[in-house]
Amino acid sequence: NYLGILELVGLFDAFLSEHLKRYGNCGRGNTSYLSSTNCEEIIDMMGEKLINTILEEIKLAKYYTISVYSTPDLCHIDQLSFTVRYVFSDEPAERFLKFVPILFDCVTTD
């Protein structure tokens, strides 16, 4: 829950806490930056920043490997899972990159 997370962060940030008190339930047509559209935009920006940070770490690594696995989700729909492993600051690192749904199965058996 997006607003629940903001309320939790607001416990440690007075400005955010005050903003939530003032604009948390202001309704449609009022600018609050708390809408689901803003939530999706913030999540997308954070995801892009995270991927860029991982890519910068990989560029500094001497070796890396990318693993791709097929994994069923809770609805039993197969999806590809992309993971990268590398050494960064003399420590091994493993980062999940992305899930991609498999829309069709092109494996045939004879």
- Do 62 and 105 belong together in one domain? yes
- Do 103 and 77 belong together in one domain? yes
- Do 57 and 95 belong together in one domain? yes
- Do 63 and 92 belong together in one domain? yes
28-43 pLDDT tens trace: 666 777 777 888 888 8
- Do 15 and 55 belong together in one domain? no
Q: Is the predicted pLDDT of residue 65 greater than 60, yes or no?
A: yes
- From residue 104, give the alpha-carbon distance in Å to each of 10, 25, 45, 71, 97: 44, 43, 30, 14, 21
Q: Which domain holds residue 6?
A: 1-34
- Do 78 and 104 belong together in one domain? yes
Please indicate, yes or no, if residue 39 is contained in any of the structural domains: no
Count structural domains, the chain.
2
- Do 20 and 61 belong together in one domain? no
Upper half-sphere CA count for residue 82 (Cβ side, 13 Å): 8
Other beta carbons within 10 Å of 86: 20
Please indicate, yes or no, if residue 106 is contained in any of the structural domains: yes
Please indicate, yes or no, if residue 42 is contained in any of the structural domains: no
Considering only 3-12, 60-69, 72-81, 101-110, which range has the smallest mean pLDDT? 101-110
- Do 9 and 51 belong together in one domain? no
